[in-house]
């Protein structure tokens, strides 16, 4: 444990599964106070319970839908009843829907991807800035993707959304220069979470094929990086981290072992 995060207030969006749930556990092990948001409250409650058992100074959760400004405001109203300031904001909520070409894509999927991965980040930052500004050395950590840096067939809207996240991160670093708030992005490659099951609308066999024969990143691999980024000294800003499985040399170059 590093003393840096002990008793710090950490807000994690999308904490009900995957990277967000793993981050809740790992920040808890550092003795942080946790504010956890997502839509599935039953799952959040179980993550919060696990975080308390893992050593969190406190772990509280509240429903949050980052696609709704009203929901974001209500979440922050709730958060302010627990703390007036925030040390770390982790914009992790997001994901992909479908793998359709542009020719066959659906407006609703595109809109959801933009709402969660792009507008959700903007809403959360705008709402939390007053809480971050009142803290001597706070951090915003946005979860991007290799998809925001390299395009692939069927990924137009998701790649555009994560490219949007990357440019929001870079813009914020300029806008917040001089405030002491650090702004970082972590761009993971293939990680086995619920991401592909959500993308393929519950088709777990299709989701499993994404990782077949290769060793993907785990949620803990990415959460460990979040903790490391958040615990750098005040004068250090980790701008951008790209992390991929060793088996994934590039988006289209994945080493897959034959089934025995």
Interacting residue ranges for ligand 8X3, rule: CB under 6 A: 145-147, 155, 189-190, 195
Residue 218: CB minimum distance to ligand NDP, A: 10
Sign of torsion, CA 8 9 14 15? positive
CB neighbours of 234 closer than 8 A, spacing ≥ 6?
136, 137, 180
DSSP string, 220-248: HHHHHHHHHHHTS-TT----EEEE--TTE
Tally of CB atoms within 10 A around 139: 25
What are the two backbone dihedrals, phi and then psi, of residue 71, each rounded to the nearest 5 degrees? Answer: -65, -40
Q: Is 31 in the site for ligand NDP (CB under 6 A)?
A: no
Q: Nearest residue by C-beta to ligand NDP?
A: 18
Closer residue to ligand NDP, CB minimum distance, 93 or 140: 93
Q: Is 155 in the site for ligand NDP (CB under 6 A)?
A: no
Site size for ligand NDP (CB under 6 A): 31
- Residue 35 forms beta bridges with which residues? 11, 60
> Which one of 88-96, 102-110, 167-175, 224-232 is the stretch in contact with ligand NDP (CB under 6 A)?
88-96
Computed on alpha carbons and rounded to an integer, the radius of gyration of the chain in Å comes to: 18
Looking at residue 178, the DSSP 8-state letter turns out to be: T
54 contact choice in ligand NDP, ligand 8X3, none (CB below 5 to 8 Å, kind-dependent): none
Residue 189: CB minimum distance to ligand 8X3, A: 6
Q: Which of residues 199-258 bind ligand NDP (CB under 6 A)?
A: none
Catalytic residue list contains 152: no
**Contact assessment for residue 219 and residue 22, using Cβ atoms and an 8 Å cutoff:** yes
> Which one of 27-35, 64-72, 79-87, 102-110 is the stretch in contact with ligand NDP (CB under 6 A)?
64-72
User: Using CB under 6 A, which of 1, 7, 40, 152 touches ligand NDP?
Assistant: 40
> Which one of 25-33, 54-62, 187-195, 227-235 is the stretch in contact with ligand NDP (CB under 6 A)?
187-195
Tally of CB atoms within 10 A around 102: 10
What are the two backbone dihedrals, phi and then psi, of residue 197, each rounded to the nearest 5 degrees? Answer: -65, -40
Closer residue to ligand 8X3, CB minimum distance, 79 or 143: 143
Name the active-site residue from 9, 19, 110, 158. 158
Closer residue to ligand 8X3, CB minimum distance, 9 or 158: 158
Tally of CB atoms within 10 A around 94: 28
**Contact assessment for residue 89 and residue 125, using Cβ atoms and an 8 Å cutoff:** yes
Residues with a known catalytic role: 158
Residues in touch with ligand NDP (CB under 6 A): 13-20, 38-40, 43, 64-67, 92-95, 116-117, 143, 145, 188, 190-191, 193-195, 198
């Amino acid at each position: 444990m590093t003393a840096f995060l002990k008793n710090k207030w950490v807000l994690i969006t999308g904490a009900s599964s995957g990277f967000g749930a793993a981050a809740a556990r790992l920040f808890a092990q550092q003795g942080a106070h946790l504010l956890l948001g997502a839509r599935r409250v039953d799952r959040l409650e179980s993550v919060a319970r696990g975080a308390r058992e893992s050593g969190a100074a406190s772990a509280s959760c509240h429903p949050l839908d980052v696609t709704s400004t009203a929901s974001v405001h209500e979440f922050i109203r709730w958060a302010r009843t627990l703390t007036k300031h925030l040390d770390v904001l982790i914009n992790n909520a997001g994901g992909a829907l479908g793998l359709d070409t542009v020719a066959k894509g659906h407006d609703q999927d595109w809109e959801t991807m933009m709402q969660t991965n792009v507008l959700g980040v903007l809403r959360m930052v705008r709402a939390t800035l007053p809480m971050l500004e009142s803290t001597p050395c706070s951090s915003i950590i946005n979860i991007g993707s290799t998809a925001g840096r390299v395009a692939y067939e069927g990924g137009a809207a998701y790649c555009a959304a994560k490219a949007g996240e990357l440019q929001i991160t870079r813009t914020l670093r300029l806008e917040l220069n001089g405030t002491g708030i650090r702004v970082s992005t972590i761009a993971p490659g293939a990680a086995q979470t619920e991401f592909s099951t959500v993308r393929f609308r519950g088709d777990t066999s299709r989701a499993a094929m994404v990782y077949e024969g290769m060793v993907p990143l785990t949620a803990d691999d990415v959460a460990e990086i979040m903790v490391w980024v958040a615990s750098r000294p005040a004068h250090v800003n980790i701008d951008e981290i790209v992390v991929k499985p060793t088996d994934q040399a590039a988006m289209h170059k994945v080493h897959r072992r034959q089934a025995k």
